[in-house]
Structure 1
């Protein structure tokens, strides 16, 4: 790729990240091209579909998931506190852009989604949390990564669409956590 083409591509991705954060993943692509100071043809040459652009925007996000799960698993406190740290982190990860929680959560169960492979990194992170907390005797048996993705994604989607504040979201996540934790 020529240097100027790479600069244009990188600029489009950076502007798309900002626009998606402001307006959601359904923001007009023409606005992204305009704000990136490129023509629509240039945008579509690099990203033939909206999903291709979303995929590119998500790449740096994917790279941050492992770091986030490591941090949550290192959280001090009992197993429930570790679980809550991860659930809150998870909501934060999928809520970076308006509409993100619904798009990401839906993509996980859709084998045709072009962003599914990126979203699967969350299922892998959930698997790590589940294994650790199951081994520690914290989680009840039978909790699966996709279930956790969908439960927490549902809370994040409601929070995103209803613009719920952090304490309200935390209270919803506490209900989820209580349902996952093994009862004495």
Structure 2
């Protein structure tokens, strides 16, 4: 890719990250192009669909998921605290952009979603936490990480739709954790 094309692509991704954070995933792509300082044609040349742009934005997010999971698994406290910490972390990760919780949670079970592979990173991260807690005897062996993701996604979606910060869902996540633990 030429240097100017690469620069335009990077500008578009950063602008989209900002616009989506402020306005949600359904924000106008023209607003993204305008914020990036490029024409709509340049945006669509690099990202022919909204989902292809979302996929590019999510790559750095994937790295953040891995780091957050490693940090959670390094926790050496009681299983309940580890689980609540993960559920809060998870809710925060999917709530970085307005509309994120619903979009990411729905994409997990949609085999045709172009962001499904990115969402599988979340499922794998949750599975790592579940595996640790199962090994510690804190969760039943048949605990389903995908269902936990969907449940936390639902809780985070309610906060997102109400315009509340994700930090307000901790009491609900504690109820979820108490229901999961042995």
TM-score (norm 2): 0.97
Kindly state the Cα deviation for residue 140 of structure 1 after the two structures are TM-superposed. 2.4
Q: Which residue of 1 aligns with 2:143?
A: 143
Q: Which residue of 2 aligns with 1:89?
A: 89
The 3 A distance-change label for structure 1 pair 165 and 31 is closer
SS, match of residue 75 in structure 2: coil
Kindly state the Cα deviation for residue 77 of structure 1 after the two structures are TM-superposed. 1.6
Kindly state the Cα deviation for residue 168 of structure 1 after the two structures are TM-superposed. 3.4
**Would you say the 8 A contact 1:75–1:85 is kept in 2?**
no
Q: Whole-Å Cα distance in 2 between the matches of residues 74 and 60 of structure 1?
A: 22
Matched, 1:169 2:169: yes
Kindly state the Cα deviation for residue 141 of structure 1 after the two structures are TM-superposed. 3.3
The 3 A distance-change label for structure 1 pair 117 and 166 is closer
Q: Which residue of 1 aligns with 2:8?
A: 8
> Aligned pair count?
182
Unaligned runs of 5+ in 2: none
Unaligned runs of 5+ in 1: none
Q: Which residue of 2 aligns with 1:99?
A: 99
